[in-house]
């Protein structure tokens, strides 16, 4: 290869890298990053440092039928005998709003008729709620309906990607609040481990190297 041929090919490489750097590489890196961390969190329940996330709360909580699927509601409240065995509290009243937890809908509060709302106490708290709903309790995977994880994606712009930066987060306000709440209680969920960072660095370098190979360098 003559110096002139080398120069021409190298110039083509520079042009090709600029084309690749229209944000495509960083977008792929961000998507792979999300795939890696989501797999780790959901399958192992560990953070970026390899530590298990803080266990689910076992503090007793107030529940109503709306806190569960219909079959679980019937299991708990489906007869007078079952309801009689439960410890009940009246919350709210005076034309205000009842302060109750409705985990299935992710909302707090509920209108009442002025007499308050009767809610049962669930010993074992949120961990027991997950067990009743058939959700794993041995590890914290931040998954109930799956809406939060389905909403987490690449939220950075093309200009961010061109500048070598990619941001992963939730798009919708409800899921942003849910993600923020989980992060406050359990720590940074979307942080990458060193192993995951090394994988991404290797894949990124391979993509740039491929541009050189395609141009015979």
Q: What pLDDT is attached to residue 112? A: 47
Which comes out higher in pLDDT, residue 4 or 171? 171
Question: At residue 15, what are phi and psi to the nearest 5 degrees?
Answer: -65, -40
Q: How far apart are CA 81 and CA 79, in angstroms?
A: 5
d(CA 189, CA 45): 10
Do residues 125 and 55 make contact, with C-beta atoms less than 8 angstroms apart?
no
Instruction: Report if pTM > 0.75.
Output: no
pLDDT value, residue 75:
93
DSSP state of 139: S
Mean pLDDT along residues 104-130: 70
pLDDT of residue 212: 55
Q: Over the stretch 123-145, which tens digit does the pLDDT of each residue have?
A: 999 999 999 999 999 999 999 98
pLDDT at 107: 33
What's the pLDDT score for residue 6? 52
Q: What is the pLDDT of residues 183-209, one digit of tens each?
A: 999 999 999 999 998 888 888 776 665
**Where are the alpha helices (H) located in 45-157, listed in sequence order?**
70-77, 80-84, 125-132, 147-151
| Residue 91 backbone phi and psi in degrees, to 5 | -125, 155
Mean pLDDT of 73-98: 81
pLDDT at residue number 88: 94
Number of helical H runs and strand E runs in the chain? 9, 7
Both tokens of 87, joined, read 């410890």
Domain ranges of the chain: 16-53+139-214, 61-132
Confidence of residue 211 (pLDDT cuts 50, 70, 90): low
Identify the H or E element spanning 122.
strand 117-122
Residue 17: CB partners within 8 Å, gap ≥ 6? Answer: 208, 211
- d(CA 174, CA 150) in angstroms, rounded, equals 12
The model's confidence at residue 109, banded by pLDDT at 50, 70 and 90, is very low
Q: Residue 79 — left, alpha, or beta (φ > 0 → left; ψ -120 to 50 → alpha)?
A: beta
């Amino acid at each position: 290869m003559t110096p002139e041929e080398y120069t021409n090919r190298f110039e083509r490489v520079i042009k090709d890298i600029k084309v690749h750097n229209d944000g495509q590489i960083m977008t792929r890196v961000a998507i792979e990053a999300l795939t890696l961390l989501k797999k780790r969190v959901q399958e192992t329940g560990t953070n970026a440092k390899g530590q298990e996330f803080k266990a689910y709360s076992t503090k007793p909580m107030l529940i109503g039928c709306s806190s569960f699927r219909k079959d679980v509601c019937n299991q708990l409240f489906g007869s007078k005998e079952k309801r009689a065995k439960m410890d009940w509290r009246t919350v709210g009243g005076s034309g205000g709003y009842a302060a109750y937890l409705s985990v299935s809908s992710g909302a707090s509060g509920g209108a009442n008729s002025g007499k308050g709302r009767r809610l049962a106490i669930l010993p074992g708290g949120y961990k027991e709620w997950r067990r009743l709903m058939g959700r794993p309790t041995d590890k914290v995977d931040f998954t109930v309906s799956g809406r939060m994880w389905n909403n987490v994606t690449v939220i950075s712009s093309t200009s961010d990607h061109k500048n070598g930066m990619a941001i992963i987060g939730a798009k919708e306000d409800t899921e942003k609040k849910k993600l923020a709440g989980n992060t406050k209680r359990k720590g940074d969920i979307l942080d990458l481990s060193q192993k995951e960072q090394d994988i991404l660095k290797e894949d990124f370098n391979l993509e740039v190297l491929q541009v050189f190979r395609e141009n015979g360098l």
